[in-house]
């Protein structure tokens, strides 16, 4: 009997400040360096999804978020390539403690506050799709899948 399909779960955190959200410029990772992304990462084995999102925000931008304060605002089924798909869970954190900083300077160059309705040109398309789904209220989006 074939093994059941399994997917990588990504967690993304939207940190708003006024009419803007926080993005990080990737650097030194080999994946989309020079482009912008939300604080995000992979879910660890045995970790509840909101806890993973809070952990990634702490690791990447140094803020502390109670997982109970995260609201799931969008899900994106992202096809990275023909052999790899992932599920992105996008959380809104309207409450956190600490001031955002580049907490992993080996992976991020700078922080950028941006209007989520008009994202910078160099925002990675996958997180941009999740941000757009949140802004539009769609809550679910497909990204990278054939349309026909």
**7-45 per-position pLDDT tens digit:** 899 999 999 999 999 999 999 888 899 999 999 999 999
Note the pLDDT tens digit of each residue in 54-73.
999 999 999 999 999 999 99
- Report which of residues 148 and 143 the model is more confident about: 143
Which residue range(s) make up the domain with 12?
A: 8-143
**Could you give the 3-state DSSP secondary structure of residue 83?**
coil
Task: State pLDDT tens for residues 84-107.
Answer: 889 999 999 999 999 999 999 999
Q: What SS3 state is found at 137?
A: coil
Asked whether residue 63 is domain-assigned, the answer is yes
For position 20, which CATH number holds?
A: 3.90.79.10
Local confidence band at 50 (pLDDT 50, 70, 90 cut-offs): very high
Backbone angles phi, psi at 93, to 5 degrees: -115, 95
Q: Which two tokens stand for residue 111?
A: 């922080």
Does 3 reside within a domain? no
- What's the pTM? 0.94
Q: How confident is the model at residue 148 (pLDDT cuts 50, 70, 90)?
A: low
- The residue to which tokens 């497909």 are assigned: 142
Residue 128, in any domain of the structure: yes
- Conformation bin of residue 124: beta by default, left when phi > 0, alpha when psi is -120 to 50: beta
* C-alpha distance across the termini of the chain, in Å: 30
Q: Is residue 2 part of a domain?
A: no
In the block, residue with structure tokens 């950028």: 112
Taken in order 11, 74, 79, 129, is the CA torsion positive or negative? negative
Residue 1 lies in a domain: no
Total of domains in the chain: 1
Residue 117, in any domain of the structure: yes
Q: Is residue 122 part of a domain?
A: yes
Residue 115 belongs to some domain of the structure: yes
Q: What are the phi and psi torsion angles at 36 (to 5°)?
A: -100, 145
More confident residue, 79 or 38: 38
């Amino acid at each position: 009997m074939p093994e059941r399909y399994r997917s990588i779960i990504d967690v993304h955190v939207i940190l708003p400040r006024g009419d803007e959200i926080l993005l990080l410029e990737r650097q030194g990772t080999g994946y989309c360096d020079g482009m912008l992304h939300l604080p995000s990462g992979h879910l660890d084995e045995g970790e509840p999804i909101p806890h993973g999102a809070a952990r990634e925000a702490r690791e990447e931008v140094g803020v502390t978020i109670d997982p109970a304060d995260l609201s799931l605002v969008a899900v994106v089924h992202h096809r990275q390539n023909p052999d790899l798909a992932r599920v992105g869970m996008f959380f809104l954190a309207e409450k956190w403690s600490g001031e955002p900083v580049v907490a992993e300077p080996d992976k991020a160059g700078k922080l950028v506050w941006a209007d989520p309705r008009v994202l910078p040109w160099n925002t990675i398309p996958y997180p941009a799709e999740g941000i757009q789904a949140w802004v539009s209220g769609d809550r679910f989006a497909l990204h990278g899948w054939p349309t026909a």
